[in-house]
């Protein structure tokens, strides 16, 4: 199972090195040491016959960072790590990739480019997450376990499943997020408890069904739009509980314009304006 983790960045110099090391140092029981290669077709054929994935065997995780020309030098840190050697060998070999964009183009467009990169390079799943450690890299293992045990086109990491699982948020921000999800659920008719969360996994097969060119959301409204499109395509999905931590370093990207975009995006999705 070949997996690509996609992380958009803007001014994350305080977090980027720790995040890269955390994601690429993850290990899985019975996981292959090299990238999924010759056995890929056999793996997929076996899945089609059995109707489910083959567990955690042959798991390979690579990392794509999409940086929006961060003025704090985030991209330069990534390049230094990509070229880092130990005992004459590249530490991360071909597991770390950087896509540097010319300006701040938005979260949604970054993820769409990440999905296209995954399709072009034959990945089986894409995991999306933030760089600020609000999403714990160790919880990627829960996504892998879920993918391995159930046939899911989408796995949603939920902050609200089985109770509120958010650490160190101000009450005002928690209430905005909580009621925004209630609003989004009501308007879209979805049963997902966390439509706005960014820690998710998508199968390559399900992503092929999505009209990526039709995605309009640039900010966090992208998370709602993406989940809604997956559901409309009747892809199987499952929610798993995660713990969300307030960032320790760096500055939050949340703004009033992002909140307004999310509010109106939900209405447009329900009205069928986005195709």
User: Tokens 């509010």 correspond to what residue?
Assistant: 263
Q: How confident is the model at residue 100 (pLDDT cuts 50, 70, 90)?
A: very high
**Backbone dihedral region for residue 60 (phi beyond 0: left; psi -120 to 50: alpha; all else: beta):** beta
Mean pLDDT of all residues in 135-163: 93
In a domain, residue 65? The reply is: yes
Of 60, 57, 2, the closest CA to residue 26 belongs to: 60
Cβ 129 vs Cβ 183: under 8 Å = no
> Distance (Å, rounded) from C-alpha 122 to C-alpha 69?
27
Is 235 a residue whose pLDDT tops 60?
Answer: yes
pLDDT tens digits, residue range 33-88? 333 333 333 333 434 333 333 444 588 999 999 999 999 999 999 999 999 988 88
Confidence at residue 44, expressed as pLDDT on a 0 to 100 scale: 38
Say whether pLDDT at 106 is over 50.
Answer: yes
| Residue 69 · residue 100 · CB < 8 Å | yes
Question: Distance between CA atoms of 19 and 250, rounded to whole angstroms?
Answer: 13
pLDDT in tens, 20-37: 999 999 987 643 333 333
Tell me, yes or no, whether 186 lies in a domain.
Answer: no
pLDDT recorded at residue 41? 38
pLDDT of the residue at 27: 82
Task: Assess if residue 266 is contained within a domain.
Answer: no
Q: How many domains, the chain?
A: 1
Residue 82 maps to a domain:
yes
Q: Considering the chain, what is the average pLDDT of its residues? A: 84
Instruction: Identify the pLDDT of residue 31.
Output: 39
Closest CA to 240 of 197, 208, 204, 176: 197
Comparing 16 with 54, the larger pLDDT belongs to 16
Task: Report the pLDDT averaged over residues 251-266.
Answer: 58
Residue found under tokens 């199968």: 203
Least confidently predicted of 160-169, 227-236, 260-269:
260-269
For residue 183, the SS3 value is helix
Cα dist. 116→71, 77, 119, 187 in Å? Answer: 26, 24, 5, 29
Tell me the residue range of the domain where 69 lies.
Answer: 2-170+196-210+236-249
User: Over the stretch 137-148, which tens digit does the pLDDT of each residue have?
Assistant: 999 999 999 998
Q: For residue 261, tell me if it sits in a domain.
A: no
Burial call 210-234: b when 16+ CB within 10 Å, e when fewer: beeeebebbbbbbbbbbbbbbbeee
In sequence order, the 6+-apart residues with CB closer than 8 A to the CB of 23 are 5, 7, 61, 63, 137, 140
pLDDT of residue 247: 73
The average pLDDT across 151-162 equals 94
- Higher confidence at residue 100 or residue 261? 100
The span from the CA of 4 to the CA of 25, in Å, is 14
Q: How confident is the model at residue 183 (pLDDT cuts 50, 70, 90)?
A: confident
Residue 268 has pLDDT above 80, yes or no: no
Q: Which residues of 61-91 are buried (b: 16+ CB within 10 A; e: fewer)?
A: bbbbbbbbebeeebbebbeebbeeeeeeeeb
Percentage of the residues of the chain whose pLDDT score is greater than 90: 56
**176 part of a folded domain:** no
pTM over cut 0.85: no
227, 154 Cβ separation under 8 angstroms: yes
* More confident site: 63 or 262: 63
Distance of alpha carbon 254 from alpha carbon 268, whole angstroms: 21
235 with 203: CB under 8 angstroms?
yes
Distance CA 50, CA 69 (A): 45
Report if residue 140 sits inside a domain: yes
Reply yes or no on whether the pLDDT at 157 is more than 70. yes
At residue 255 the predicted structure's pLDDT band, cuts being 50, 70 and 90, is low
**Residue 65 belongs to domain with CATH number:** 3.90.550.10
d(Cα 94, Cα 112) in Å, to the nearest integer? 21
Which residues make Cβ contacts (< 8 Å) with residue 168, sequence separation at least 6? 245, 246
What is the share, in percent, of the chain residues with pLDDT greater than 70?
Answer: 80
Q: What is the mean pLDDT of residues 240-248?
A: 90
**Beta strands in the chain, from DSSP E residues, in sequence order:** 2-9, 60-67, 85-86, 89-90, 96-100, 125-128, 154-158, 166-167, 200-203, 237-241, 244-245
pLDDT at 153: 94
Residue 262: inside a domain: no
């Amino acid at each position: 199972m070949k997996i690509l983790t996609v992380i958009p960045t803007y001014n994350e110099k305080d977090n980027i090195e720790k995040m890269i090391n955390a994601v690429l140092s993850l290990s899985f029981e019975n996981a292959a040491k090299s990238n999924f290669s010759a056995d890929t077709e056999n793996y997929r054929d076996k899945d089609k016959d059995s109707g489910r994935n083959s567990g955690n065997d042959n798991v390979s995780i690579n990392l794509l960072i999409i940086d929006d020309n961060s003025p704090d030098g985030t991209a330069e840190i990534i390049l230094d790590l990509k070229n880092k050697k130990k005992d004459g060998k590249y530490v991360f070999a071909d597991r770390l990739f950087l896509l540097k964009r010319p300006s701040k183009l938005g979260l949604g467009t970054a993820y769409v480019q990440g999905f296209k990169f995954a399709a072009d390079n034959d990945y089986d799943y894409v995991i999306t997450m933030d760089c600020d450690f609000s999403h714990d890299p160790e919880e990627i293992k829960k996504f892998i376990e879920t993918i391995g045990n159930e046939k899911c086109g989408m796995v949603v990491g939920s902050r609200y499943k089985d109770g509120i699982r958010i650490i160190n948020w101000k009450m005002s921000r928690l209430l905005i997020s909580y009621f925004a999800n209630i609003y989004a659920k009501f308007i879209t008719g979805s049963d997902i408890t966390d439509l706005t969360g960014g820690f998710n996994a998508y199968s390559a097969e399900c992503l092929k069904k999505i009209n990526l060119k039709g995605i309009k959301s640039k900010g966090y409204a992208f998370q709602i739009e993406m989940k809604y499109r997956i559901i409309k395509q009747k892809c199987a999905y499952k929610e798993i509980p995660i713990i969300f931590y307030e960032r320790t370093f760096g500055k939050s990207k949340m703004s009033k314009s992002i909140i307004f975009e999310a509010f109106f995006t939900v209405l447009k999705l329900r009205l069928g304006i986005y195709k």
